[in-house]
């Protein structure tokens, strides 16, 4: 009798705590190639960054196990996007905040207090928060580094697979990794063909500017990272290359005029309290985005630029780069640079398909716009 009751109680514990009961030490390879041991399956997860990538891989079901996030880089930087996810993720509105690196609010104590089985952390946060990470790991919480910011194919793939392994979504993660590798390879093959056909001709020149403050101010441009990295990958000449002391900053307006770029890209978004910004995102119509881009197309001193005369100025959502879906940004810019090589590519359609298959919110709005064409 006693043995029977004991077996029933033991069975009840296993049923009530299925994740804990089957936990086993598992080696995860993160974006940096680190081998991190995590007890799988996980019941509690903290997420520091790359929330939309996490969603694409883990799905809404995965969010049930999230116990804390860094709210600032999502809710603070991109509130219009955050609000859409908040509407479909029940626990997101009241999700505990573990703080953020940029404003100095990241708290190892908060992470430890939430008792996650693992912390998913961006590469730049991992490198910056040496004391905090030592405290977290010292408390027995493994840290797995996720890195889409490096804009390296291997790290995109490794990050996606790591999330999938941790969340028990390996099949979906592999599907996404295959999609990214396939689309990336296709873009690069098209660029190579286009460059072969242009043999002997100079590389097209591109100037990119963050359209946050309005056309009456000079916004940041990028060298070796973000849009600068994508422009270089696409075989074009980035006007900022070698002209900035760091990865981003303002380029002398006289340099832009003297270099006479073939293409101008203005990065927009759904920023708040930025009345002169180029507006892109879920809530924007093409006409709305075009209206906010017009002051740049009519900017003083730019009227004689080839890109302006020939209508080669475009808006693109700033949040598209350094993501699991940044291949759509590469497609869009590639199509502007090499129209013939990308004639059958539909970047907007590709982003719509990505939403329909991998994201819990519907596609809408304007994310990229060629000012000179409908």
Compute φ and ψ for 5, nearest 5 degrees. -60, -40
The two three-digit tokens of residue 334, written as one number = 């590639």
For 148, the 3-state DSSP assignment is: coil
Q: What is the pLDDT of residue 9?
A: 34
For 9, the 3-state DSSP assignment is: helix
The reported pTM is 0.92
Q: What is the pLDDT of residue 360?
A: 98
**DSSP states of 76-132 as a string?**
IT-HHHHHHHHTT-TTTTTPPB---TTTT---HHHHHHH--SEEEEEHHHHHH-HHH
Residue with tokens 């505990």: 96
Q: What is the pLDDT of residue 14?
A: 35
- How many Å separate Cα 348 from the centre of its chain? 16
Ordered by start, the domain boundaries in the chain are: 24-168, 201-370
Q: What is the pLDDT of residue 10?
A: 37
CA distance 281 to 368: 9
Two domains, one topology: 24-168 and 201-370: yes
Q: What is the pLDDT of residue 121?
A: 98
Residues of the chain below pLDDT 70: 1-22, 374
| CATH topology assigned to domain 201-370 | Rossmann fold (3.40.50)
Q: What is the pLDDT of residue 2?
A: 32
Handedness of CA 89, 91, 94, 96 (dihedral sign): negative
| CATH topology assigned to domain 24-168 | Rossmann fold (3.40.50)
Helix boundaries (H) for the chain:
2-16, 18-21, 51-63, 79-86, 108-114, 123-128, 130-138, 153-167, 170-197, 226-233, 253-259, 286-297, 306-309, 327-337, 347-358
Q: What is the pLDDT of residue 22?
A: 63
Q: Could you give the count of Cα atoms lying within 13 Å of 82 in the half-sphere of its Cβ?
A: 20
């Amino acid at each position: 009798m006693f043995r029977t009751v004991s077996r029933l109680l033991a069975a009840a514990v296993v049923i009530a705590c299925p994740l804990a009961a089957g936990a086993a030490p598992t080696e995860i390879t993160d974006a940096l190639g680190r081998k991190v041991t995590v007890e799988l399956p996980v019941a509690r997860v903290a997420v520091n960054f790359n929330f939309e990538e996490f969603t694409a891989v883990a799905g809404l079901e995965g969010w049930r196990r999230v116990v804390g996030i860094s709210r600032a880089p999502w809710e603070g930087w991109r509130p219009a996007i955050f609000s859409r996810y908040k509407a479909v993720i029940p626990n997101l509105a009241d999700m505990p905040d573990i703080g953020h690196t940029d404003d100095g609010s990241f708290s190892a104590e908060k992470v430890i207090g939430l008792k996650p089985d693992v912390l998913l952390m961006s590469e730049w946060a991992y490198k910056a928060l040496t004391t905090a990470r030592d405290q977290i790991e010292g408390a027995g919480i493994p840290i797995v580094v996720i890195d889409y910011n490096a804009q390296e194919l291997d790290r995109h793939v490794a990050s996606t697979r790591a999330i999938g392994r941790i969340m028990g979504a390996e099949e979906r993660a592999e599907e996404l990794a295959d999609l990214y590798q396939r689309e990336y390879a296709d873009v690069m093959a098209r660029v190579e063909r286009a460059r072969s056909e242009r043999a002997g001709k100079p590389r097209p020149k591109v100037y990119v500017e963050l359209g946050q403050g309005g056309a009456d101010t000079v916004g940041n441009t990028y060298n070796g990272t973000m849009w600068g990295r994508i422009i270089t990958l696409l075989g074009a000449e980035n006007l900022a290359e070698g002209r900035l002391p760091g990865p981003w900053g303002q380029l002398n307006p006289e340099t832009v005029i003297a270099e006479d770029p073939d293409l101008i890209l203005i990065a927009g978004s759904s920023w708040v309290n930025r009345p002169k910004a180029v507006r892109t995102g879920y809530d924007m119509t093409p006409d709305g985005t075009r209206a906010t881009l017009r002051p740049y197309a009519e900017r003083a001193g730019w009227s004689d630029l080839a890109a302006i005369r020939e209508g080669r100025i475009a808006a693109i959502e700033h949040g598209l780069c350094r993501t699991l879906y940044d291949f759509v940004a590469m497609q869009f810019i590639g199509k502007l640079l090499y129209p013939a090589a990308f004639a059958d590519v539909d970047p907007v359609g590709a982003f719509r398909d990505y939403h329909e298959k991998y994201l819990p919110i519907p596609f809408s709005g304007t994310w990229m716009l060629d000012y000179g064409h409908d």
